[in-house]
Amino acid sequence: MDALNGLLYGLSVACGASNLLLLLGGCLLGTLVGVLPGLGPVGAISILLPLTFQLPPVGAVIMLAGIYNGAMYGGSTTSILINVPGEAASVVTCLDGYRMAQKGQAGQALGIAVFGSFIAGTLGLVGLQIAAGPLSALALKFGPPEYFAVILLGFTFIVYLAQRSMIKAVLMALTGILLSLVGLDPITAEQRLTFGALHLFEGLNVVPLAIGLFGLAEVFGNLEKTASAKILTVNIRSLFPGRRQWLAAKWAIVRGSVIGFLMGILPGGGPVLSTFIAYGVEKRVSRHPEKFGQGAIEGVAAPEAANNAAASTSFIPLLTLGIPPNVVLAVLFGAFLIHGVTPGPLLMTQHPEIFWGVIASMYLGNVMLLILNLPFIPLWVQVLRIPDRILYPLIILFCLVGAYSISNSVFDIGVMVLFGVIGYFLKKFDYEAAPLILGFVLGPMFEVNLRRSLLMSQGSFGIFAERPIALAAFAVCAVLILLPIAKRIRKR
Amino acid sequence: MNRRDRASSIFFLALASIVLVLSVWQGIGALGNPGAWFMPFVTCALMIFFALAGLSAACRKGAGAVGVVEAWRPVRWSKNAAVLAVLAVYVALLPYAGFLIATFLLMSVLFRLNALTVKAALLAACLSSGLAYGLFYLLLKTPLPRGIWGF
């Protein structure tokens, strides 16, 4: 099935009445959770996952894609109105978005964020649609050595692009791999790190881990604060940017889309990093860099475009190789597995309704969010006015039910609470939780492919040099590892 | 790097060392036929290497401005401790009291801890636990824990 026919088929799946309703519900719920400060797409997907359990796989996956898209859109609202990012990818939007709101241009800032997100998200989807087929075909030629090398490359990128210390990122990724090893060995069925506990035989589940690290830990972090964020009293006169603002923002949207497109595919890159790069590039190419941070509309348009383009293209490695490139997609990967869908090169042929249905639903979701977000902005502002003392207990309740309903186990609630505490301490000690989740999700694939490669080669690491794809991946890894070392030596 | 980094590096070093010894004890197999404990062994060996690198960097740069205690100074950590204690009691109580009662009690305490009056806390707890029960148990058919009273 070529890309155009695939998309038409996907549209026929996604346009079914029930799937459209699920998509709409997903977009609205995702935006609602995305709007809440601190709870980004990871929290949104983890907490809302139980709502999809009774649905057929296609409907569930479509709803999850809607939640993801909605959360990405919703994050910018809090950045602009209260200077608190709804999720990590909206941090940069605070810089100019909040300043625009202070100047009485909150409507235009929210408007350009929505339009920029729509344009970039759609461009990203076109890329996803075109690249998915050839990449899936290539991935079918992968054996264990290629998979191992590509996953190792992913880990290297995650560490290389870490926002804080690289050593800490490596330690987090390794801790994630170690946690993924708890349970029965996938090859020999021997018990590992279970300490005889029956609940640990099947290993830990990614969802309680993610809810704990990204949901409960966030609540703990907010509960201890002695002051709460103040919502700016804004008079939103018009959500449509003026002609001059459009002219100023149009190239920022294009550049942001291109950066987001490329960063989305990179493992470890994703929406968060793309926003920082897009903002930096925009400031560098601007004739008035001094206006950045003072309410420049390009400073809102570029990062918002980048984060939504990256959100679309980050599906490319997930759907074609079965490798989630960032933490949100790692949780989504776990959610797909819960619904009996294994992302990877065979998804396109074995479940074309899901593969093309997801892509088509993301196109439709972008249109829905564009139409709904503008009139709904006053409602999201009201959501932000819910007092913390009511909001946080409710988020805790959703976290508890979300963790329990994965396997109807009270043990999972305990795991979630434990990882909530761990996530809180990780923040205190300046560790990022994202590499841990990625290590946890990629760990089993990493182990199985390494052991199978060694079995195939009877213990020789030469097998990785004999395969061109594996060799190329190792070469890139070596460059990424050597680059910072060379930089440090040159500094001395 | 600061004192917090030193403490965290020592934690990772200790954790990895314990699992590494356990892996060797259980048997890691050979390179041509890696055993079940091969991957824990490799992972922990790498963790030890990077924890040592982190520790050496932390020691080289000195104590720094931010210590372990300073990270907790400007915050109301006691509220978190109370919430954690309530959650631990909830996990223990849930299988016996059932979802509805345990969640009502949990939400009452959480709302009260968040400075709601007793009356408002009870009302909010009643509404939130009832709505959660209705949404997940009655509508979405999630088999929530029933407890000894059957609900």
- Other C-beta atoms closer than 10 Å to the C-beta of A141 total 9
Residue A230 pLDDT grade (very low, low, confident, very high; cuts 50, 70, 90): low
H-type helices in chain B, by residue range? 3-26, 38-60, 77-113, 118-132
Answer whether residue B71 shows pLDDT above 60: no
Among A63-77, A284-298, B79-93, the range of highest mean pLDDT = B79-93
pLDDT digits (tens, 9 = 90+) for A344-366: 888 888 888 888 888 899 889 88
What residue in A sits closest to B77 (Cα-Cα)?
Answer: A224
- Best mutation target, A54, A165, A174, to test chain B (most B CBs within 10 A): A174
Answer whether residue A455 shows pLDDT above 70: yes
Residue A343 vs residue B115, higher pLDDT: A343
Contact assignment for A405 to B142 by CB distance below 8 Å: yes
ipTM of the complex model = 0.91
Residues of chain B contacting A168 with CB distance shorter than 8 Å: 8, 54
Span A259-277, average pLDDT:
78
Lowest mean pLDDT among A82-91, A363-372, B69-78, B102-111: B69-78
Range of the domain at A109: 3-491
Interface check for A416 against chain B (CB to CB < 8 A): the answer is: no
Domain positions in chain B? 3-72, 77-139
Residue A1 vs residue A11, higher pLDDT: A11
Interface check for A472 against chain B (CB to CB < 8 A): the answer is: no
Backbone angles phi, psi at B149, to 5 degrees: -95, -5
pLDDT digits (tens, 9 = 90+) for A406-418: 788 899 999 999 9
Residues of chain A contacting B22 with CB distance shorter than 8 Å: 193
Contact assignment for B91 to A223 by CB distance below 8 Å: no
Nearest C-alpha of chain B: how many angstroms from A183? Answer: 11
Residues of chain B contacting A218 with CB distance shorter than 8 Å: none
Half-sphere exposure of A420 (CA within 13 A, CB side): 31
Contact assignment for B40 to A181 by CB distance below 8 Å: yes
Interface check for A404 against chain B (CB to CB < 8 A): the answer is: yes
Find the CB nearest B80 among A171, A175, A224.
Answer: A224
* Cross-strand pairs, A192: A183
Answer whether residue A231 shows pLDDT above 80: no
Nearest C-alpha of chain A: how many angstroms from B104? Answer: 10
Instruction: List the beta strands (DSSP E) in A444-487.
Output: none
Answer whether residue A227 shows pLDDT above 60: no
Residue A229 pLDDT grade (very low, low, confident, very high; cuts 50, 70, 90): low
Interatomic CA distance for residues A460 and A453, integer angstroms: 9
Tokens read off for B143? 């088999």
Residue A408 vs residue A269, higher pLDDT: A408
DSSP string, A376-410: HHHHHHHHHTS-HHHHHHHHHHHHHHHHHTTTT-H
H-type helices in A36-105, by residue range? 41-48, 57-82, 91-102
Residues of chain A contacting B74 with CB distance shorter than 8 Å: 226
Answer whether residue A395 shows pLDDT above 80: yes
Nearest C-alpha of chain A: how many angstroms from B148? Answer: 15
- How many domains does the structure of chain A reveal? 1
Interatomic CA distance for residues B139 and A356, integer angstroms: 29
Contact assignment for B4 to A428 by CB distance below 8 Å: yes
Interatomic CA distance for residues A377 and A364, integer angstroms: 20
Residue A97 pLDDT grade (very low, low, confident, very high; cuts 50, 70, 90): confident
Answer whether residue A23 shows pLDDT above 90: yes
Residue A380 pLDDT grade (very low, low, confident, very high; cuts 50, 70, 90): confident
- Those residues with Cβ within 8 angstroms of residue A243's Cβ, 6 or more apart along the chain or in another chain: none
Answer whether residue A124 shows pLDDT above 90: no
Interface check for A444 against chain B (CB to CB < 8 A): the answer is: no
- Percentage of the residues of chain A whose pLDDT score is greater than 90: 22
Residues of chain B contacting A224 with CB distance shorter than 8 Å: 75-77, 79-80
